Structures are given as structure tokens and as C-alpha cells.
Structure 1
Amino acid sequence: MTLDPYQEDTRMPPLGVLSLAAVLCEMGITPQVVNLNELFIDFLKCNRDEKPVDFLTFIVEHIESLPFDVLSFSTICSSYPLTLRIAKEFKKFNPGVKTILGGPQASVVDIPTMKAFPFIDFIVRGEAEDTFPLLLEALSGSGSSLKLETVPGITFRKGTEIIRNPNAQPVLDLDSLPLPAYHLDPGIKKYKVIPLEVGRGCPFNCTFCSTSEFFNRKFRLKSPQKIIEQMKIIKDEYGISNINFNHDNFTANRKKVVEFCEILINCGETFFWSCSARTDQVDDELIALMAKAGCKGIFFGVETGSARLQQVINKKLNLSDAVMRIQCANQHGIKTAAALITAFPEETKDDLRSTINFFVDMFRFKNVEPQLSLLAPLAGTQIHSMYQDKLILDYIYSDMSYQGWEQDPVDIEMIQANPEVFPNFYSIPTSYMDRSYFKEVRDFVTYIQVWFHWLPLAFLQDSGDMLNVFDRWRTWRTNKLIDNSDLNTSKKPYYLNRQFSKDFCEFALTYYQNEMAAAKKVISSIVEIENLFLTQKSDPIIESPEKLEIFSLTAFPYKSRGLHVAQLSIDYKELIRSLRDKKDLKQVPDKNITIAFQEANRKGLEIDVRILSPLSEELLNMCDGNRTVNDIVSQSSSMKAQIDGIPSGKVCYFGLSRLFEQGLIEVSSQPIIKVDSNTGSALQSGS
């Protein structure tokens, strides 16, 4: 999820790899770490003439210059095909190199991977801090008597036979593990946030989740003292105080979390941190304490807005309580992700409706980012075991495990030939609706929040059924013969195109307002407000000798770039209050007002909107860049002579200074020249 204050860049070092590297460093072995995520960014930045034909070639060119005898990969499901192709390429040119896989994906598909890809020599399953060094010792050939058959937790080849040793024991004392070897990541200075493992395992057993399988349901937390000690080291050595706690359910042990927060509050240093939690594993008191201790982000896996499906998938959350916990985190200024999943095999339209309504209802909260993913049958999960013989490859990929819109053709060939190795790219058949329908609903609600803020929430509160709104929209779009041929292709989705926002505004002002709306005036006003952001405004270029930072009588004020002004016929403050508090929109009173806000701050629309008084509106219109503040104040004699006994000149000066403080106007040392951004010619005053 994305968290302030590092929202613009959420790249992080490869935690699992660096954790193993730290163990090796303690043994006197310094491994070379290649961060493929950073390498991919370097690949994208290459000039066209310098860039290899594909990323795989770029990787090989980078790594082949490094000396090594063992090539190890951490694996996750979304990039598993690419990982295997890299390993194959190196094995082709370096047959003596031992290729080792570890991590979540290889651990649960070890046997089918070894059968399908003979260039893989070893797979280290599960937690590897004890196992991996033993494997290297057995491979060292330095007189070690350690036999591969005695190394727990590995799968390997012995001639033509594949041997799977018993599982290794989990690391019970996480405090004994060293701090990850962050210094081995060449990109360490670039990061805004550092991940820190604070625990492992989850005591719950949701049917779709792979965490329980990988960690054998062994829930553990580091001691509060160890967590804070490692946070301080990160801050001292790398100058980073933003820490992302790596653990699926940090708050499962409430006592330890309270102790951690209290120690952190009293340690005399400032940290910002984020974590993952279940909504039934926190309460309002704990959330308040976490916020006080510097918690800036929580990832809540809600999974479904359907009370029935909560039981089916073994999540078993009370959804009313979930909303209250999310609301509490929001009130404390904690950025919160509310993650949902759809396209479960048993999911009915009523279940989907509940999830979509839950998703859109989250728009009420300023600090909440709802997320919706299509279900993926992750290897090793209960749901995969139940449906592994029924999987279909429909090329409607899930983003539940960070997969993209498209796959490389070579990857697709591998996926087609090996469903038991790559089940996450497959789909579980759905009983009540086509997966293409789930996919379009998911795209609709996910991308609608890119273009709109209040309109979807108004539709939900006005109609009570956002899925019905979608169905009506879909029918309207079809009848209008709008081209949506790219809905299920690898191209940029229709719903992420600006054309969708224009089409949806037309739907809102024509069909919805006329055929469905209960609060017609409210819907009309919200569309008018949001449409201001969607209309590409070509502001004139302002050529000024000097933009001033100080407001004075001799300055030349002009309207800020991207400023929008609109006249409404309803009470805007009451409208926003009604949306936030889920009140009847038909009760929003009429009121003629003028509002102004900045285009650059669309995400904070409800905060940045300014309701202008008649005087402020008149003053704003006079700020044309060709009159000084003193000129405008002098011309105010045409206004009311006094306001509450204060001379009009003083009132106007104060009003202009407030417009400047609010960012609605800027000031220049000399008259400004406006240039048409299309023609480059100067515009006349007042243009």
C-alpha cells in the first residue's frame, strides 16, 4: 500500500534476500546481492539505442560479469516464470553453477518445479536462515562430512531421482536473527522507507491465504526491545525513520504491541511506521496508542463485504466492527488500506453487491484507500487444493499477487505447460457470473476513484446499490455504442482512460439523474464540481519578471494557475457532511454559494475547497495581474462604504491578503503578461 510521507516513491530493498545475506555475513561469507526491482528501473531508464531487446538480456549482461559459484533466487508467484528463465539462461552458459531457489512460491511447488525444470538444482523450503548455510556447507567440498540427505527443508536431485527431505523447524527465536544486510543493496540510499521483519506466521487459517502454509501457522513476534533496537540502527546508519513492519498480523498479540508502543513513545526518538492487521485484532484504544507511537499506516485485509462469504472463506470478520475500526484509524490520521477480493467460486451477485457497496462506502474516509483484487488460487492454499483439478487459463489475470496486465509470450508458454507450477495465473471457475463480469466490476470501482471522489459515494447513498448503478451504466454505454473493445486486452484499460470519465459524467447527468436519482439537485451539483477537474483546462502561460513571496500594496495579484471557481445552488458544507455521515441527500438545503479550489489538490477536495463570500468573489475577479493591490483597494469605493464599522479599504486589503494566504492568488513585482499556451501570442488584459 502507499503511505505518506513517502508516497511518491515506495521502492524497498529485498528483505528476504538481505535477511539470508546477514546470516551468511556472520559466517564470514559476503554474498553479492542483485536487486532485480532496481535493475528493472535501470532497464527502463536506458536510452533506446543502449537498451537490450528485453529485460532478461539486460539481467544476464549485468550478472554475468560477477564472479559466483552459486546462484540463488528468492521467488514469489507473480515473477516466478521470469525467475526460472533467468536461472535457465545462466545454467546454459555456466553449467557448473549451482542454482538454488527459495521463498514462498518455490517452497510450495518444489516437486513440480524440479520435474519441469531440470536446470534447478536445489529448492530451500520455508524459513531458510538455518537451512541455507547448511546447504552451502554441504556443497562447499572443503572436507565437510555433511551429506545433502541430512539437510532439513531442501528438495534436490540425486541422479534422476528427486529427494525431498523433511521440513526444517521454524526459527522460534526471531530476536536471535541479525539485522538484514541492508548495506549490500546498492540502492539503499535511494529508499524513502525500509522494511523490517517484526514477526512471522499467522494464527488464522483463511482459505485463500498462503501465509499459514509457508510458516506452518507458527505465529511469532520479535520482542519490542529488539524491534526498537533495529529501528534505531536503521535510522542511525541510513538516516531513514520510516519503517514498514513486515508481518501479516502484527497486532495478534495485543500485549506485545502495547508494550512496543509505550517503549517507543518514551524512547526519545521519532519514527513513522506501518503494519498489517486484522480489524478484529485491534480496538479503538489500541489504535489511538499506535497513532501516538508513530503509526502512519495500517493494511487491513477485509477480503469481502459479504457476511456470508466471510464464513465461507474462514475470515469470519464482523463487518460492522470492521468499519468502526477503519473509521477510528481514519480519525487518528492513519493511512489505511482496506483490501477486498472478489470472484470467489461461490460468490453470488448479492455477495458481490455487498463487497462493491463496502468498497465505495470507504470513500467517506479521507485517509482510507480501498483495494479490490480478483481471486488468485495461490499455491498451497486451501482454495487451491480444493479446485486444482478445475483451474482454467482465461488470461484474466489477478492482481492479488502483483501481476501485471500482460505476460511475456515466453512466460505464457511456460504457464500453459505447467499449471501445477504457476496456478496463480489460472482462475477458479465461478458459479454465478462470468469472470469477465467480475473483472469489469473490479476495474470500474477501482479506477472510478482515480477520476472521482464524491460522485460514486453520492450514487451509493442515493441509490443504496452501487452494483445496480454499474449494471445501468454498462447498459447505457452499450446502447450509446461506446467503444470498449480494450476492456479485456493488455492495453491500458478503458476505465483508466480519460474518455471513461467523460462518458460517466454524461451518464450521470442524463440517464442517472433523469431515471434513477432521488436527490437530483445533489447529483447535478456533484457532477458539476467533479467535472471541473476532468475538463482539461489550458491556462495561459504567465510571464512575470518576479513572482513575490510577500504580499504588499505595490504587488500585482493574479489568479493562481489551475484555479477553479463554480457557482452552486446547494449548501456545500452540508452536502459533504451528509456524504461523510451517510445522511439523506434529499435533506441537503438549497443555498447559492461560490466555491474555489486548486486542480493540483484533487485528492484533498473536501479540505481545499474554499467557499467564497460575495466580497472575496468580487476581489478575485479583479485580480487580473494588471492592477496593484493598492489599485484594487482604491477601486473598492464602489463597494459598500463600511462593513461592521470597518472602512472598506481595510476590508478589501484583508480580503486580498486572505486570498493570497489560501493560494487562490499569486503576486508579481510588475504587471504580468499572459501568453496563449496554444499559439504563443500575448493575450489582452482580462483574457
Structure 2
Amino acid sequence: MAGLEFDADLHKEKKRRFKVALVYPPFDDKRDRSAYYVVPPLGLLYLASYLEHEGFCVEIHDQIYELKTGILKEGPHLYQAAAERIVAGRPDVVCFSTQCTTSPGSVSIAKRVKALCPGIPIVLGGHDVSFIAEDYLHSFAEIDYVLAGEAEETLPELIHCILGGADSSRINGAFSRKADGSVVAPHGEATRVKVLDHLLPPAYHLVPDLRSYFALSRRPTILVDSGRGCAFACEFCQTTLLNGTKIRYRTVSSLVDELKVYKQRHGDFEAYFVHDLFTARRGFVEDLCDALIEADLGIRWQCRCRIDQVDRKLLARMARAGCRMLLYGIESGSHETLSRMNKRAKVSDPQDIVGLVKQTVDAGIFPSLSMVVGTPEESLADLDATMALAYRFQQLGSVNAFIQLMSPLPGTALAKRLMGRFTYQGQGIPTAFSQGIEFDNGKRLEEDEALISSHPHIFQSFQTVVPDHGDFDLCVDVSTTYCKLLEIYRRTFGRLRELRGSSYLAMFSEWRQFSLKAKQACVLGGLKDFEIWDLFELYVRHECGSALSSDPALSEFFHFEHLLREVTESPPVHARKTSGPATGRLALADGAKLYRADCAIEGFPDSGNALIVATPDRLHLLELTEDQADAIALALDQDGYKKLSDRAKDVIAKLTRPLVESGILVPEADSRFCAARELVA
């Protein structure tokens, strides 16, 4: 608090009664069919701890949680209800954390808070506002302050200034507005926390019990701040600008101690280490893995990595220590595109990239693979290279490959270099950072649209660019449908491409043109998964009939993948309690099918027999021996099962018991599952 002058006793008395509301605005990205995790906003939990340490009263409004639990309702009155909940706590200042997509909502809620309490100060912080603070203050009279960068140390200083009526320009990173409307910039750049071990513990006592968050998640998850900073300077990314080029790690002991506390308090959960460059320092990762193995906490975890910073040995160590998922920013299959992005990738050859992803899968780690299209200088050859790489990822199985549409982020070199080329083309064009605020029956609220349209220089993440190859609509359709198509019909797509001798782009374009005509549309963006798959099945049957009848492999692939789709669209299988082998005829659960292949299928077990099973996480192919497959087929056969001897039925019961325990096979009389159908292909 050096340099800030107050009447100490009076200020201390006021501080006891001064309440700060920290708000994370509503957000709900429905692109994923169900949320993998719902977690409290970690950044706000840290800020709250620092404010409480200074003696302020703090209230956190996690409006994602409030939306998920029905406290807030989607629709035209969402922002008014959000503002009323904030004001009901009678805060003295309201601070919003904004993240690209949530920026319009923050402004809209702030306007309503001001209408309800005209004199209340409003503060914005977060990624986007940190780089265009003056634009926000010039454009929105409701915003009084913008606090740029990491704010653990500077937010308490700003609140002291607001309480004492002092000049905030001496606070690093704090922008404000004078009475005449002019903006006052700070004397210094935003302050960063130098030693992360000195961070105060997150204020979890200010949000609902974590068990209530766990109940909203597919996997109970806790975010852990393991490090900050990035030594790279990718043209499209804000991380280096926000957190600096110096990588700061917490010590291994502090991380393990934190996990032990969470384990004791909350039981089983997964940890997510939220550092964009988790593997930047190999020694840190190795030491952390060794400590986790020694501690034997039984905690699974995930992280974000650069693919050129891992190898087979490190991945095996991470898996042994509990790593089960990670995110790689692949970006593109084109070396030229990666160079233009200033990715500085040590591994850029597609064959080497695929090899490292395979090593990840082989280690037992499930990778998410992020790619982008629609970059400014992109050629059709660049686009095809990315599509080819995505296809090869899908061939590996047990991956989550996805393609997004490039958009600029405020402050980045990309935004500055090509701002004149980026335009807003409406909410039907989903970019990497524009989804999650569709609160009006799947569309954005009118006021959000009005803000985004009228302030393009502020809400930049909603914008796109027409690439040099000129076909922007093609990029939209690749980003919204290609990976979803390959998720089910990759083998059929690949076989058709081989028969036609075409590129990945050409094969996709042929299906796309058929689909556009069938839908009488200009773009395919906005299609549901089942609509994409319906269109592909229609295309194969109508346009590829001769190939389907003359090529056994194509026919086999198409039939197999149709069953994959049926399983995907069925309720997932859950393990069930059982006291012994099931007796009597069995039925397959809705989320399972038996498949016996007549010819070799890529990625299918060599035995030619498998169960296709959908669990809450993903699809699985469970290899069966010939005897196991025969036993299941007999257990499903109504007439055949009745003719079996008691001894044969006992053998079937023993062979199928593990599948009954896992919930894949159920007694026919079990009313929780559909009646037996013809399931043997």
C-alpha cells in the first residue's frame, strides 16, 4: 500500500463494512454434449483471498454455477436477474472477470447494476480487457475501472483507493475515468505475482460446496494453478502478453500438499493443472510425477502441453503418475501455416506429430488435439493438410480431434497485424472464442448481438477473416462438421477417398455440395451431430450406391459405422451391482452392440469379434474371443437359448459374467433396459 495516503483508523473502520462482489458472468458452451467438469472460477477464488486478507468483505457470484443449477434462467431476462442477485448482496463495488465470450454479458449486467445502484463503482478485469482497457472505458459509461493483468496484488490496492477516494493511477495496470470522461492510464504495467508459492489459498469457502459442483460434472474436477507464463510468442495467443515470457512454476511440494488437502476434504476427484505450458521445464514435470507416484494419492490429472516438449519416456512417467488427459495445441497440418503463426515448433512434420500422439495414446493418456482453419494467408493446400492430419488423428482412436475457426484476440500480434481484414459476420459463424452465450433458444440475446455488432474493435473474438484462398464458407463447414463426420464415419469416408483417388478436401467438398443442396443452405454451420451423420448416410446411399454394392470393404465399413452411430446415440452403459452369474436369457444394454466382422476393419480387433460400448466418456471396442462372441450370441438368441442344456447355460453364464457386472449385458427381465432386439450383425 506504499504511496497511498489514508486516515488509517477511519479507513480501517470503513474497510470492515466494505463489501466487494466478484462476478463470473453466465456462460454455457453447449458444443460438448455434457460438461466434462463444472468448477468454481479459480481466478476469483485467489482474488477473494487477497481481498479478505486485507480485511474486506467479499462475495463471489459464480453465474455459470447459478445457470447450471437453475438459479438463473436462460432467456431475455437473464442479465436483469443476474444484476438483481448481485445487488441483493448490497456490495460497495462490483468486479467482473471477463473471458472473450463473456465480455458482452459483463457489460450488459454492469449496465443493469448501475441502473439499480447508480453510484456503485464497476471494475472489469481479465484477458481481453487487459489489452483494450481504454476502449472499454471510452465506450461504456457504466465501467469505471479496468484492471489489467494478474490482479492478486493490485486489486486490493484498487479497492483501497476506491474506499479512500485516492488516485488509482499509481496502481500498476489500473485504468480509470475522470469526471469529464477522459481516461487515466496507469503509470506502470500490470504487476505479476513473482513467487507462486506465496499465493494465498483459494477462497473455496465463498462458493457452494465442491460436491455440488461435482454433481454437475461428468468427472469431479478441481483446478490447480501449477504455473504461469510462456516462453513462446505465437501470433494468435494472449498468454505471453498477460503472464509474461518468464515461466513461473510452483514448487512440487506445494502442489502435492494442496492435492493432499483436497483429497482429505473432498474424496475422489481429478486435478486439472491450469498452465498453458505445463511441460516447458522437463525437470519440473519429472519431479512432480515422482512425487505423485511416491505420495500415491490415487488422483488422476490432466494438463496442457506443447507436443514438441514430450516424448515416450516422459509420457510414460506422466501416465504412471496419474495423467489421463491432456490438450495439445496442434494448430495446423501445414508447416507454412505454423511458421506464419510464429509457433516455433520443433516438431512440425505430420508424420512426427502423429507419432507423438500415438505415443500419448499408447501411454494410456487421452489427448485432445486442437486445430484451426481460416487463417489469413491460408491456401487450399494448407487447409487440405490440416484435414489430412485430423483424419490421421482419428485413425489412432482414443483421441478428441477438433477444428475451430480462427478469430483474433485483443492485444495479439495477429489482431494488430490484420485488424483491417477481420469482420463480424453474424452469430451463425462460430469461432474458437465466440460460443457459450446462446441464451435465447440456441441463439444470442438481441442485446449481445447489438453490442458485438456495434463495437467490433472491442469484441474481437467474434470476428473472422476471409483467407487468401477466398472460400470462407468452406472454412466454416470444415470447422463445424469435418471432425464430427470422421468421429463416426472415418473408415467409410477414407475408403471413398481411396476409391476416388481424391484429396481429403476434395472428398469433403463432394459430400458438402450434396449436403448444401439437400439442406438448401449456404453453409452447414449449426447442424446437430445427428444431422451431419444423416446427411453423410444419405450421401453414401444416393451418390455411392454402385461402390457400396461392388466394394466389400466399403460395405463392411459403412455397416459397422452405422452401428457405431446407433451406440453413440444410445444411453451410455453403467456398471451394475450383481451378486453372481446372471441366469436366463440376456439382452445387451442400449449402449452396446455385438459386431462380428466379415473382413478386416481398421482399428477393429484382429479376432473379428467385438462389443461396441458407449460409456459416459467415449466409445470403446472390446475385443472378444470366438467363444465369448458365440456365448453372447447364444444368450441373445431367444429360440436357441431355450434349446441349450443346463450345462451349456452355466458355461454361458460364466463367460458373460464380467459383461453383466459391467452393465453391458443385462438379464432380459431387467425393466430398466429395452426389450431384446435383433442386435447381432
Q: Into which bin does the TM-score normalised by the smaller protein fall?
A: 0.7 to 0.9
Which structure 2 residue ranges, 5 or more long, are not aligned? 1-28, 215-219, 571-576
Amino acid at match of 2:121: K
Which residue does 1:148 correspond to in 2? Answer: 168
The answer on whether the counterparts of 1:349 and 1:433 sit within 8 Å (CA) in structure 2 is: no
Matched, 1:266 2:294: yes
Query: 2: CA distance between counterparts of 1:17 and 1:37?
Result: 13
Amino acid at match of 1:482: A
- Equivalent residue number for residue 521 of structure 2: 485
Residues 459 and 230 (structure 1), Cα distance of their counterparts in 2 relative to 1, 3 Å cut: farther
- Offset at 1:523? 1.5
1:656–1:87 CA distance, 2 compared to 1 (3 A): same
User: Is 1:388–2:419 an aligned residue pair?
Assistant: yes
Counterpart secondary structure, 2:151: coil
Q: CA deviation at 1:346?
A: 0.7
Report the counterpart of residue 286 of structure 1 in structure 2.
314
Measure, in 1, the Cα distance between the counterparts of 2:466 and 2:563: 42
Change (3 A) 1:62 1:349: same
Alpha carbons of 1:268 and 1:29: their partners in 2 closer, same or farther (altered >3 Å)?
same
Alignment of 1:104-503 (within 5 A): 104-141=127-164, 147-160=167-180, 161-165=182-186, 166-190=188-212, 191=214, 192-317=220-345, 318-319=348-349, 320-395=351-426, 396-401=428-433, 403-404=435-436, 406-449=443-486, 451-452=488-489, 454-456=491-493, 458=495, 465-477=503-515, 481-485=517-521, 487=523, 493-494=526-527, 496-503=528-535
Supply the distance in 1 between the matched residues of 2:126 and 2:477 (Cα, whole angstroms): 32
Of 113, 121, 126 in structure 2, the residue corresponding to residue 103 of structure 1 is 126
Q: CA deviation at 1:217?
A: 2.2
Structure 1 position 521 matched with structure 2 position 556: no
Provide the aligned C-alpha RMSD in A: 3.6
CA change 1:618–1:322 in 2 (3 A) is closer
* Secondary structure at the counterpart of residue 231 of structure 1: helix
Contact kept in structure 2, 1:364 and 1:457, CA below 8 Å: no
Q: Whole-Å Cα distance in 1 between the matches of residues 363 and 44 of structure 2?
A: 35
Residues 516-567 of structure 1: CA distance to partner in whole angstroms, max 9, x if unpaired?
x99932121011112234469999xxxxxxx975337xx4213334464556
Aligned to 1:638: none
Q: 1:606 aligns with which of 612, 618, 621?
A: 621
Q: Does the aligned pair in 1 maintain the 2:148–2:173 contact within 8 Å?
A: yes
Map 1:446-595 → 2, pairs under 5 A:
446-449=483-486, 451-452=488-489, 454-456=491-493, 458=495, 465-477=503-515, 481-485=517-521, 487=523, 493-494=526-527, 496-509=528-541, 511-512=543-544, 514=546, 520-534=551-565, 550-551=580-581, 555-562=583-590, 564-565=593-594, 568-572=597-601, 576=604
For the Cα contact (< 8 Å) 1:194–1:244, is it kept in 2?
A: yes
Contact 2:407 2:462 in 1 (8 A): yes
SS in 2 for 1:266: helix
Distance 1:503 1:416, change over 3 A: closer
Q: Tell me by how many angstroms 1:87 deviates.
A: 0.6
Q: 1:518 to 1:536 in 2, by over 3 A?
A: closer
Cα distance in 1, alignment partners of residues 155 and 221 from structure 2: 28
* Distance in 1 of aligned mates of 2:230 and 2:637: 63
Separation in structure 2 between the aligned mates of residue 34 and residue 256 of structure 1, nearest angstrom: 35
Q: Cα–Cα, structure 1 residues 63 and 350, in superposed 2: closer, same or farther, change >3 Å?
A: same
Structure 1's consecutive aligned runs of 4 or more residues displaced over 6 angstroms after TM superposition are 536-539, 599-602, 672-677
Contact 1:203–1:217, Cα closer than 8 Å, also in 2: yes
Alignment check: 8 A CA contact 1:622 1:632 kept: no
- Which of 104, 127, 131 matches 1:81? 104
Change (3 A) 1:122 1:369: same
* Deviating more after overlay: 597-606 vs 229-238: 597-606
Q: Does the 8 A contact of 1:251 with 1:281 survive in 2?
A: yes
Aligned partner letter, 1:483:
K
Task: After TM superposition, give the deviation of residue 169 of structure 1 in Å.
Answer: 3.1
Mark the CA change 1:549 to 1:345 in structure 2 (over 3 Å): closer, same or farther. Answer: same
Shift of 1:45: 7.8
The alpha-carbon distance between structure 1 residues 238 and 568, as it changes in their structure 2 partners (threshold 3 A), is: closer
Asked if 2 retains the 8 angstrom alpha-carbon contact of 1:558 and 1:625, the reply is no
- 2:88 maps to 65
Distance between the aligned counterparts of 2:222 and 2:492, measured in 1?
A: 36
Deviations for 1:112-138, whole angstroms, at most 9, x for unmatched residues? 100000111111111111111111111
Post-superposition offset of 1:93:
1.9
Q: Which residue of 2 aligns with 1:94?
A: 117
SS in 2 for 1:482: helix
**Match for 1:632 among 622, 644, 652?**
644
Q: For residue 583 of structure 1, what is the aligned residue in structure 2? A: none
Structure 1: 5+ residue runs without aligned partners?
A: 540-546, 579-590, 635-648, 678-682
SS in 2 for 1:31: strand
What corresponds to 2:61 in structure 1?
34
Equivalent pairs: percent with the same residue? 22
Cα distance between partner residues in 1 of 2:457 and 2:666:
62
Query: Which of structures 1 and 2 has the bigger CA Rg?
Result: 1
Q: Once the 2 structures are TM-superposed, how far is the Cα of residue 43 of structure 1 from its aligned partner?
A: 3.7
Could you tell me whether the CA contact under 8 Å between 1:548 and 1:668 is conserved in 2? no
Contact 1:557–1:665 at 8 Å: present in 2 too? no
